[in-house]
Amino acid sequence: MFSAIPIQSISNELTPHFKGSIDVLRLDKLHTIVSGNKWFKLNRYLTEAKAKGFDTIATFGGAYSNHIVATAYAAKLMDIQALGVIRGERPILHSHTLQNALDYGMKLQFVSRDDYRAKKALQDRIDPLGELYWISEGGYGCLGADGIRDLFKSAPLWQYTHILTAVGTGTTMAGLIKGAYPYQQIIGVSVLKNQKTLLSEIQALLTEEEKLKNYLLLHEQHWGGYAKKSPALLDFMNKVYQIVKLPLDFVYTAKAFYALVEMLAMTELPRDSRILFIHTGGLQGNLSLEKGSLLF
């Protein structure tokens, strides 16, 4: 399904003291709406659902969820029905995200925030007979991580000493850890505030051996919490776009890229590192920003 994934080399204008190299794996280029990492995460779930004879998959998400729209699209491609269970009351006007999901043929069911929190009970109520194939929120799980590990087959990840990604559920980071070579360090930048269980959730997807590999999870780069933004963050995104022509999203990749620039400014990585930043996509989320906030 994927032809070569573009790799963009970034000049050192943003990080003048750094003498190594920075490349970006442009998973965002795989599709304008669907986040690149979500493809890889969903692939094996959908394959399993079909192999087990399910005709519908179901999953959870918010009104701006990259995972919801990616699931809708992937299900359409794989010719399987999809149900999205959405947090909150049905809005009068759908977000771009939900409208795209509907356009891809996903059915949406809106549930109150309280119901949404109790996912197991909710799932039993919606699907008492177990007729749906459920994928957890954000695609968290072993099959998701295994799908990300497949990236090592689709792109020359072996070339790099450090691989960086934004972290939500941690499934992407877990998959990168699984695939990592002994000379590589995987760095994850959490976009969640106070998510103290994140590291153990990532490790729950790893074998004992994989747990001993070299990885680092940064917790302090969330800019106030999930999907929180400030003029400074938008300025940073515009600056990165102007200088190195890299479009970022404000929920995930901008915060992760900022963390990278900061690490390099503080010389926290060896000067000759060969760094790969995974652009996980999410650009559709920028549509929720006020018009004119971004130069791209």
First-to-final CA distance of the chain: 28
Which of 15, 71, 97, 172 forms a contact with ligand PLP (CB under 6 A)? 172
Cβ nearer to ligand PLP, comparing 22 with 151: 151
CB 78 within 8 A of CB 102: no
| Token reading at 159 | 């070339």
Q: Does 141 bind ligand PLP (CB under 6 A)?
A: no
Q: Does 100 bind ligand PLP (CB under 6 A)?
A: no
Give the strand pairing for 162-167 and 185-190. Answer: parallel
Task: Restricting to residues 267-286, name those near ligand PLP by CB under 6 A.
Answer: 280-282
Backbone angles phi, psi at 287, to 5 degrees: -65, -20
Tally of CB atoms within 10 A around 197: 10
**Chain position whose Cβ is nearest to ligand PLP:** 282
Q: Does 49 bind ligand PLP (CB under 6 A)?
A: no
Which of 162, 215, 249, 259 forms a contact with ligand PLP (CB under 6 A)? 249
Crossing angle of helices 253-265/231-244, nearest 10°?
A: 80
Q: Does 66 bind ligand PLP (CB under 6 A)?
A: yes
Q: Which stretch binds ligand PLP (CB under 6 A): 103-111, 112-120, 124-132, 161-169?
A: 161-169
Dist CA 49 CA 132 (whole Å): 9
* DSSP character at residue 4: P
Which of 18, 25, 33, 35 forms a contact with ligand PLP (CB under 6 A)? 35
Which of 169, 184, 195, 221 forms a contact with ligand PLP (CB under 6 A)? 169
Dist CA 218 CA 255 (whole Å): 11
Cβ nearer to ligand PLP, comparing 170 with 179: 170
Cβ nearer to ligand PLP, comparing 12 with 154: 154
Q: Least Å distance between CB 149 and ligand PLP?
A: 12
Strand ordering across the sheet containing 274-279: 7-10, 21-26, 274-279, 162-167, 185-190, 215-218
Q: Does 23 bind ligand PLP (CB under 6 A)?
A: no
Q: Least Å distance between CB 50 and ligand PLP?
A: 22
The single residue listed with the structure tokens 């940064």 is: 218
Which of 62, 138, 141, 147 forms a contact with ligand PLP (CB under 6 A)? 138
Query: 127, 179, 174: which is closest to 157 by C-alpha?
Result: 179
Query: 93, 88, 130: which is closest to 109 by C-alpha?
Result: 88
Which of 141, 168, 185, 259 forms a contact with ligand PLP (CB under 6 A)? 168
Cβ nearer to ligand PLP, comparing 95 with 169: 169
Q: Least Å distance between CB 252 and ligand PLP?
A: 3
The single residue listed with the structure tokens 């179901």 is: 58
Q: Least Å distance between CB 274 and ligand PLP?
A: 22
